[in-house]
């Protein structure tokens, strides 16, 4: 009878032990899975948040952000006549996006800025021609009118990129 009692109590202990083990594994199971879930989701989230490719404008803005400058979008009205540009000096910051609205006050003129491959059409009195460029290089650059001898006659200007 004692043997049976021992066996019964042993089997009871084993059963309760098993039960506890099962509970523990059940309790542990979710905590073990949680990191796995995070691990598998995190790379996906990072991938989806990574832009396919930054545009030139975004890259510039990032560069400007590092040096605490913000790339500006600037528009200048430049008037050309015989034989001048007004203004004859334009100053922008490196990284700015510049739009030039060239207005012809009289004669045949154009606006050429070779450093940035900018050239308006040759326009007549009263006409306008617009060009845009990215001032991504600092320095002083000359713009001029390429019609006839206008440049020699003084139809030049200075672009300063700081």
Q: Is residue 120 near Cu ion by the rule CB under 5 A?
A: no
Q: Is residue 129 near Cu ion by the rule CB under 5 A?
A: no
Among 5-13, 96-104, 126-134, 140-148, the segment contacting Cu ion (CB under 5 A): 140-148
How many other C-beta atoms are found inside a 10 Å radius of the C-beta of residue 78?
19
Q: Is residue 78 near Cu ion by the rule CB under 5 A?
A: no
Among 41-49, 65-73, 93-101, 142-150, the segment contacting Cu ion (CB under 5 A): 142-150
Of residues 129 and 155, the one with the C-beta less far from Cu ion: 155
Nearest C-alpha neighbor of 112 from the set 134, 129, 125 = 129
Region of 107 on the Ramachandran plot (φ > 0 left; ψ -120 to 50 alpha; else beta) = left
Residue number of the CB closest to Cu ion reads 145
Q: Is residue 147 near Cu ion by the rule CB under 5 A?
A: yes
Of residues 94 and 150, the one with the C-beta less far from Cu ion: 150
Among 95, 104, 123, 150, binds Cu ion (CB under 5 A): 150
Q: How far is the CB of 106 from Cu ion (least distance, A)?
A: 10
Spatial contact of 36 and 62, defined as CB atoms under 8 Å apart:
no
Q: How far is the CB of 115 from Cu ion (least distance, A)?
A: 19
Query: What is the arrangement of strands in the sheet containing 128-134, beginning at the earlier edge strand?
Result: 84-86, 73-81, 97-104, 128-134
Q: Is residue 155 near Cu ion by the rule CB under 5 A?
A: yes
143 CB-side CA count, 13 A: 29
Torsion of CA 26, 30, 33, 34, to 10 degrees: -170
Which uninterrupted H or E stretch holds 5? Answer: helix 2-49
Q: How far is the CB of 69 from Cu ion (least distance, A)?
A: 34
Binding site for Cu ion (CB under 5 A): 109, 145, 147, 150, 155
């Amino acid at each position: 009878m004692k043997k049976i009692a021992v066996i019964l109590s042993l089997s009871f202990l084993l059963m309760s032990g098993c039960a506890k083990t099962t509970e523990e594994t059940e309790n542990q199971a979710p905590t073990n899975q949680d990191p796995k879930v995070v691990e598998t989701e995190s790379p996906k989230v990072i991938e989806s948040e990574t832009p396919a490719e930054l545009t030139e404008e975004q890259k510039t803005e990032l560069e400007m952000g590092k040096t605490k400058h913000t790339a500006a979008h600037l528009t200048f009205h430049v008037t050309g006549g015989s034989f001048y540009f007004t203004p004859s000096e334009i100053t922008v910051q490196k990284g700015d996006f510049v739009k030039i609205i060239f207005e012809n006050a009289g004669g045949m003129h154009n606006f050429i800025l070779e450093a940035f491959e900018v050239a308006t059409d040759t326009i007549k009195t009263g006409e306008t021609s617009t060009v845009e460029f990215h001032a991504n290089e600092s320095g002083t650059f000359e713009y001029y009118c390429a019609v006839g001898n206008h440049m020699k006659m003084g139809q030049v200007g200075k672009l300063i990129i700081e």
